[in-house]
Structure 1
Amino acid sequence: MSTDEKKKSPWLPPRWFIRAAWWFHRRLYAAGGARFLRRPRAGRAGMLRLTTVGRRTGQERSVIVSYVPDGSGYATLAMNGWADPAPAWWLNLQAHPEARVETVEGGVREVRAREAVGPERDRLWELLAAVDDGWGELDDFAARRSHPTPVVVLEPTGPE
């Protein structure tokens, strides 16, 4: 790897730090509820609580994910701190696509998850890349993975 390539590679904290930060954030959000969620605004993604059904346990599991609004739904990335394995919530959604989201502006909504493909994926990738959510250069981070990062669409299934 040349010096120029090393400069272009985005910096990530050590894996243990990322996992510790997730642990802390899960407890913070569990204790604080929706008040720690945020609305999307120009140049910044929103944060929502996604509740899935565990693919093995059948128990509800909640996680906080960044998102951008897309019509009446939401788009997010199925990433695991840019590590190669898929996040558990995405594996859960692949097994049981019905889920629940909680946002600051919309309360709790039932959604159905699916992976965006083709032109829709490209369009949503550009929307996600346009927000500054600590992702930096999205394409550079995504290049660290051995497979494409899924773009997940969460579509409301009922009335707002």
Structure 2
Amino acid sequence: MPKTDQSLNQDIIRDFRENNGQIKGTYPLSEPFKGVPVLLLHTRGAQSGLERVNPVAYLADENRLFVIASDAGGQKHPAWFRNVLAHPEVVTVELGTETLAVRPKILEGEERETFYQKMSVIFPVFIEYQQKAHPRLIPVVELIRQSEA
């Protein structure tokens, strides 16, 4: 990950943790994400085995959580998605002030399309990301709380 991406993530993570799970734009690089619903996704590195933390925009639909592995429309899946595939058993999220164990489920077909569309209504940039990523189909991941799994 380029240094600027690491700095961006670190600013968002600090802002999130200092403001009880909300992005207030406290730091220069976190300001564009002010008010965006973000969770902190904890994974284990697919190759390194080290813990990784990534801020990810999410959609809450009733009691369900969804994230999109867009990598801003890049041609490859983001590292966090590869980590989720490699080590689904250790995925947790910080949501607000809670830390939750979750089980990731990769959505397919109509279900994937439904939640990608819902996310695109809230964050229209995801429409552009899918166009940029073509032919890669951007994954949608449901994060199922372990108590519900």
What is the TM-score when the length of structure 2 is the normalising length? 0.77
Match of 1:144 among 126, 132, 135: 132
**CA-CA distance at 1:158 after TM superposition:** 2.4
Distance in 2, Cα, partners of 1:155 & 1:55: 21
**CA-CA distance at 1:97 after TM superposition:** 1.2
| Percent identity (aligned) | 22
1:38 paired with 2:22, answer yes
Unmatched tracts of structure 2, length 5 or more: 24-34
1:62 paired with 2:53, answer yes
Q: Point out which structure has higher relative CO (alpha carbons under 8 A, 6+ apart).
A: 1
Q: Is the Cα contact below 8 Å between 1:72 and 1:156 reproduced in 2?
A: no
- Counterpart in 1 of 2:80? 89
For residue 92 of structure 1, give the secondary structure of its aligned residue in structure 2: helix
**Number of residues of Structure 1 aligned to a counterpart in Structure 2:** 134
Distance in 2, Cα, partners of 1:30 & 1:121: 27
**CA-CA distance at 1:73 after TM superposition:** 2.7
Q: Is the Cα contact below 8 Å between 2:13 and 2:55 reproduced in 1?
A: no
**CA-CA distance at 1:110 after TM superposition:** 0.3
Which of the two has higher C-alpha Rg? 1
For residue 73 of structure 2, give the secondary structure of its aligned residue in structure 1: coil
Compare the two structures and name the one with the higher helix fraction: 2
Unmatched tracts of structure 1, length 5 or more: 1-17
- Counterpart in 2 of 1:27? 10
Superposition CA RMSD, Å? 2.4
1:74 paired with 2:35, answer no
What is the identity, as a one-letter code, of the residue corresponding to 1:158? Answer: S
Q: Is the Cα contact below 8 Å between 2:15 and 2:22 reproduced in 1?
A: no
